[in-house]
Structure 1
């Protein structure tokens, strides 16, 4: 991680593991290991604590269930981004099944749930689903394109632990090229609304070979100007809609690391890179109610089984998990 801003106190989740604790950060999606004595479940901590605790890939914990999952309860979206990770051919379950899945995840030992899509802010019952997960002890984040965030920020503020807004450029010209006319202006307005309502907020952007070098520093400067709490640069995964762009737009993990190393260590906001290696083995619950898992090299994703009970979330060696 490069740079930092003034520390804030926010919600994390923790549980015992071995001789210490593991802590999930809903803002970044990172897992930290600490020997400090903590309460299990949802806890309030200062960001300062995270800087002193080492990050760990969840697979290295050899846990029985994932530390965190991405749940994409819908494939519907108001945008059509060519690098989207979602598979638009996956059918959506009905509302009762979405509530059933929320209850199952809440009953598991999973610490963090990132609700994605599609565009999750299109779900009318999103606040209800978040409430179920939070009541079960999960830390909940929402990943959104931001275009509906102005109208939903107030309702989310009392519920969600973090919002991650996807931007593909530091200005309308570069962002709208990928996401459509007017999407940058609406996303930035959404970010401002989330920050104004006190929601821990970060910007996420997918590194694309054709745009990354010119956009990295301006995006970090925009994040600082908007008052968000960090920027995560995501390595492009050749999954879903984005598979068609992989041959021309993917950077290697080494290239991405070198690119971000050029940022000043005095950056006004924390900056991190999620490599493809770090995305290996990650668990996704898609709109069809199936448990999916990234291959260890994150070059593909596999459908494992329907999510019918808590045991269907278990990590096993045959699923490509540690």
Structure 2
């Protein structure tokens, strides 16, 4: 994970993280960034508040290096439907969605599995009417919870989310309507920016995420400036993964990890934290699909290494970055 940081007034706030032990080591999961940190200091298990700068000062660690069979965190995509049609979407739109009661069962299983954090994604999770109920189940289970969204429905849902989640991650593919709307549709940039402002106004720690593509790489400096003006906590640059709807674009749009590191390093001392999630960082990442099946990224992040029904913590068990049980 390549990082460029700067100190701002945003660093003084306290935020909720998920804490616990993994392989005899203290682990801290940050729902804002999705990063796992290692700590030698004794911390209570579950959801605790830490200073933003204190979280960032902890050494980062790939979850697989902690040597525990239970993942530190999972991404749960309870919905494949979306109000946008992005050609680079990671979701497989052919996956069937569970019904309301079955979704509640999945939330309960994740909450009791022992994971420290959950990122609720999609599809577009803000389209789920009873999303607050699902989020409450995860929080009540002791998980640090974030939501990843395209931001278009945030203005109307930010207030309810602010009482339930610990962070919001909003996807942007460019620093202005011309570049962002090219990928996500007319009006989507303005709606996403309004959503970001609503989230910040309601006190939700907010992160912008952008998928790095050859077509968008030149816009990174301007996107950093926009993120700073909006007042978010940081920007995460995600390496393109050849999954789901976006698999056909991988040949023309993927940037090598080496080139991605150079692009982020060229930003210099950015006014906000900028983080790069390389493909290596995404190895072994665990996802619970909309149909309740669990899958995990392969070591080279070109495919899925495991697919099984989520029946409890045992079905999430993993022994290494290869996704083996």
TM-score range, shorter chain: over 0.9
Query: 2: distance between equivalents of 1:17 and 1:81?
Result: 37
For residue 263 of structure 1, the aligned residue among 252, 267, 270 is: 267
- CA apart distance, 1:316: 4.0
Instruction: Tell me which residue corresponds to 1:170.
Output: 175
Query: What are the Cα deviations for residues 89-115 of structure 1, in whole angstroms up to 9, with x where unaligned?
Result: 111111111000000011111001000
- CA apart distance, 1:19: 5.1
1:296 is aligned to 2:289: no
- CA apart distance, 1:17: 3.4
1:221 is aligned to 2:235: no
Instruction: Tell me which residue corresponds to 1:130.
Output: 135
Instruction: Tell me which residue corresponds to 1:202.
Output: 207
Could you list the runs of 5+ residues in structure 1 that have no partner in the other structure? none
For residue 255 of structure 2, the aligned residue among 243, 251, 257 is: 251
Normalized against structure 2, the TM-score is what?
A: 0.96
The 5 A counterparts of 1:19-168 are: 20-168=25-173
Query: 1: distance between equivalents of 2:306 and 2:286?
Result: 10
Q: Size of the alignment, in residue pairs?
A: 320
Instruction: Tell me which residue corresponds to 2:285.
Output: 282
Query: 2: distance between equivalents of 1:37 and 1:308?
Result: 31
Query: 2: distance between equivalents of 1:148 and 1:279?
Result: 27
Alpha carbons 1:59, 1:321 under 8 Å: kept: no
SS in 1 for 2:108: helix
For residue 311 of structure 1, the aligned residue among 311, 314, 324 is: 314
Instruction: Tell me which residue corresponds to 2:5.
Output: 3
Normalized against structure 1, the TM-score is what?
A: 0.97
Bigger shift: 1-10 or 89-98?
A: 1-10
- CA apart distance, 1:319: 6.2
Could you list the runs of 5+ residues in structure 2 that have no partner in the other structure? none
- CA apart distance, 1:18: 4.8
